[in-house]
Chain A
Amino acid sequence: MTGEIGQLALSLALALSLLQAMTGLAGARAGNELARHTATISALGTFVFVVLAFGALTYASIVSDFSILNVAQNSHTLKPMLYKVTGVWGNHEGSMLLWVLVLAIYTAAIAFARRGGERITSAALGVQGLLAAAFLVFILFTSNPFLRLDPMPFEGAGLNPLLQDLGLAVHPPMLYTGYVGLSAAFAYAAAALITGERDWARAARPFMLAAWIALTLGIALGSWWAYYELGWGGFWFWDPVENASLMPWLIATALLHSALATERTGAFRSWTLLLAITGFSLSLIGTFLVRSGVLSSVHAFANDPTRGLYILALIIGAIGGALGLYAWRAPGREQGTAFDIASKETALLLNNVFLAAAAATVFVGTLYPLLLDAATGERISVGPPYFALTFAPIFFALLLLVPFGPRLGWKRGDWISTYKALLPAIGIAIVAAIAVLALTTPRTLAGAAAFAVAAWLIAASVIDLRKRQTITTSAVASALGHAGLAVTLIGIAGTTLWRSEALEVLGPGESMYVGTYELRLDSVVGARGPNYDAARANITVLSGGRAIAVMHPEKRLFPAEGQDTTETAIRTTIVSDLYLALGDRRDNTQWVVRAYVNPLAPFIWLGGLVMALGGFAALFGRLRLPRTSPTAAPQPAE
């Protein structure tokens, strides 16, 4: 029954989303009230039926209904309940259903909020309806999660053990909330082009912010997962799948900044439209890259070329349609705006220049090998060294310029007072650089530069808040966002420049040394989990001859799936991680043990959290908190 309910719900959702698309677009005309009502009701109907379909699949997974092919292929009775639920999106079909679910949630939010007025809401619902219909067709005809299996097997095949992890269970919904949230910005941009509505960016802003926050957290979660699960202490591999999430983030960041100017002064109107279209286009391309099997990786559970072709057609349709609309309707809407060279507008424009170049770099680095292979048959690798030479300097230059933006005023800013206000931050940055050179070994210029820039960003954020008479939530948002970048930068620099590592083969009772720690392998014992067997090491950590902790890295074998995973043991003091991974067994009693001391590693993800908090501040705030101390200088900004 569950399968039939799901199938029926999906079919009804498809019908309703088509109705929503037609009536929504028709309702964009003035006075077409019946169409608008129909669009709203069908949007809510689509939402209800997609939720029902998702619920049906979740239920089937929870009760281990192996008569449904998708559940039989990806679940197992012994799998813990948590992973029976999160396993729903741990496979291609289920993850596409999650995609549509998130889309439906945003659509319902657009329908309820009716931001920007009736006509633009209606057109945005129409565009969302088209997207939902396209993805529902994709699901029903190439990736149906409700296909039956006859005869029903006694046991399921299980879920990739790498995915049986809390971090990775939360990562896809978070990332999709970001990816798909950009559809709302896209829909509003398209709706603005259709209706000629000028104030669309303000209407779309909460959706942009929600998407950006979710993308930030999703990327941070993915990176954290790679760090503790893969067992090599790395946090970012420039893997195409990671890049696929970084590109929309870069463009969404640019969009948030550009839209600020568009809302405030009407500057960069058509550029902001183009960014909204580009951001979601990159989300679609990311979905294509991850889901089509073009890249084979943990994420590409799908290796069916018809799916790839369909998504490719969908992308070309969506991007081509939007760009066509843009080319047709956008010209002539840009009035020449007026602002001085020293102004917030210039700063925001520079932000966009560097973010666009950074996004283009990731785009080329990710797609070039695929295109070259297709065109010439030659295969090349574009790995971390490429991005270190291209992306890193571009992003570093951006960071140098970041503090000027919040201090400069709209239209007419003042270089001199901005420079004077930021002078203490420059001093702090220099002190930080000298301190790093004096106190750390090995002594690296890169480390000094990274800490100088981080100090510059944080100090400038604090100065900006202190200099304001009234602290607005938008000022807090930008201070947190920019300081968060600095925190992440500190983490990246600390981990990559001052990591200590050791790799030894240890027998029981033997010791190895990493950083200032002595690690003694006491024993390795067998242990059993709900659906795995583990070899669990007992390693005593000694510092100055005194035992301070016992750590238990594991190697787990999942018999149902026939795969093993490393379960690292991490002991963190926030300023440093001691990171242990158990490798292979040698000669019966000896084990390979990898140990790292990763200074400042937690800052990488803390920074993401701080950035996200900045996003929340912007999302929830229009409150003005009066400052008590009257020390503030005349207001250059805001």
Chain B
Amino acid sequence: MKHALAALFLFVATAATAAPAPGTLKDPVLEARARALQRELRCMVCQGESVDDSNAAFAADLRALIRARIAAGQSDDEIKDFLVSRYGDFILMRPPFSVNTYALWLTPFAVLIFATGVATWVVIRASRASRNEA
């Protein structure tokens, strides 16, 4: 069985022109849009991979769907809205800014501001002490 499989891999070279890549759009601008959109979407059946970098059938289907809708003239937001209505926010690699995610989006900057504040206080106190010493 293994050998039969291996035998199937053997090929005779034939001259032919390259087939079009699986479902890319002809217009490079539209194709670039499709690629950008793919990176923003999660492959729902994978482990943390985006639609752009997954081998799974789900990702392939979604890549085809995105291209069909872009070709039909839909905007990125329309396509995203459609996918969110179907799969929920989970499909978005960039979580939306909503009640559920205020804390998620604001924590990094809140920590930065708070830490800067504390550091400023420490430095001011230390420099005052330093001036008193001098």
Name A's B-contacting residues (CB within 8 A).
230-232, 234, 237-240, 267, 296-298, 336-341, 345-346, 349-350, 352-354, 356-357, 360-361, 364-365, 368, 372, 376, 378-386, 389-391, 394, 411-412, 502-512, 522-528, 533, 535-536, 557, 559, 583-584, 586, 588-590, 592
Contacts and interface: CB of A to CB of B under 8 A. Distances in A.
Contacts of B112: 353-354, 357, 394
A508 B42 contact: no
B130 A364 contact: no
Contacts of B39: 384-385
Contacts of A350: 119
Contacts of A502: 21
Given A508-B11, A509-B15, A533 B111 contact: no
B29 interface: no
A504 B47 contact: no
A120 to B, nearest CB: 27
Which of the listed residues A349, A389, A511 has the most CB atoms from chain B within 10 Å of its own CB?
A349
A380 B130 contact: no
B125 A524 contact: no
Given A337-B126, A382-B95, A522-B13, A240 B48 contact: yes
A164 to B, nearest CB: 18
A589 B8 CA distance: 9
Contacts of B7: 526
Contacts of B16: 507, 509-510
Contact of B107 (A339, A360, A411, A528): A360
Interface secondary structure of A, over-half rule: mixed
A381 B104 contact: no
Interface string B1-28: 0100111111111111111111010000
B133 interface: yes
Contact of A384 (B93, B96, B132): B93
Contact of B6 (A336, A379, A391, A526): A526
Contacts of B11: 508, 523-525, 589
B122 interface: yes
A508 B8 CA distance: 14
13 contacts: A267-B126, A360-B107, A364-B107, A378-B88, A379-B89, A381-B42, A381-B95, A383-B42, A383-B48, A390-B105, A505-B20, A526-B7, A536-B9
B9 A524 contact: yes
B48 to A, nearest CB: 5
B76 interface: no
Interface in B56-110: 88-96, 100-101, 103-105, 107-109
A617 to B, nearest CB: 28
Contacts of A298: 47
Contact of B129 (A336, A360, A506, A536): A336
Given A338-B133, A360-B107, A508 B5 contact: no
Contacts, number: 188
Contact of A380 (B21, B92, B126): B92
Contacts of B100: 372, 376, 378, 380
Which of the listed residues B2, B14, B100, B127 has the most CB atoms from chain A within 10 Å of its own CB?
B127
A393 B99 CA distance: 24
Contacts of A505: 18-22
B123 A533 contact: no
Contact of B2 (A353, A533, A536, A589): A533
A230 B132 CA distance: 60
Contacts of A384: 39, 50, 93
Closest 10 A/B residue pairs (Cβ): A383-B93, A526-B6, A385-B94, A338-B129, A361-B108, A526-B9, A357-B112, A338-B130, A232-B53, A508-B13
A357 B115 contact: yes
Nearest to A501: B35
Contacts of A509: 13-16
Given A338-B127, A504-B21, 17 more contacts: A240-B48, A267-B126, A339-B127, A345-B123, A349-B122, A364-B108, A379-B88, A381-B93, A383-B42, A385-B40, A503-B22, A505-B18, A506-B19, A507-B18, A510-B18, A525-B11, A528-B6
Contact of A511 (B18, B22, B88): B18
A528 B103 CA distance: 53
B33 to A, nearest CB: 16
Contacts of B107: 360-361, 364
Contacts of A353: 112, 115-116, 119
Contact of B18 (A234, A504, A588): A504
A496 B119 CA distance: 34
Contacts of A349: 119, 122-123
A297 B46 CA distance: 9
Contacts of A525: 9-11
A106 to B, nearest CB: 30
Contacts of A589: 11, 14
Contacts of B91: 381
B119 to A, nearest CB: 5
Nearest to B87: A379
Given A380-B89, A525-B10, A526-B10, A336 B42 contact: no
Given A357-B112, A360-B107, A592-B22, A526 B5 contact: yes
A298 B47 CA distance: 8
Nearest to B46: A297
A341 B127 contact: yes
Contacts of A238: 48
A365 B9 contact: no
B71 to A, nearest CB: 18
A528 B125 CA distance: 70
Contacts of B122: 349
Nearest to B98: A380
Nearest to B133: A338
A423 B100 CA distance: 46
Nearest to A356: B115
B23 to A, nearest CB: 10
Contacts of A240: 48
Nearest to A242: B48
B82 to A, nearest CB: 17
A391 B108 contact: yes
Nearest to A535: B9
B13 A523 contact: yes
Contacts of B130: 338-340, 411-412
B22 to A, nearest CB: 6
Contact of A237 (B48, B90, B108, B111): B48
B107 to A, nearest CB: 5
A197 to B, nearest CB: 24
Contacts of A536: 9
Contacts of A383: 40, 42, 48, 50, 93-94
A234 B92 contact: no
Contacts of B21: 502-505
Contacts of B126: 267, 336-340, 345
A381 B101 CA distance: 11
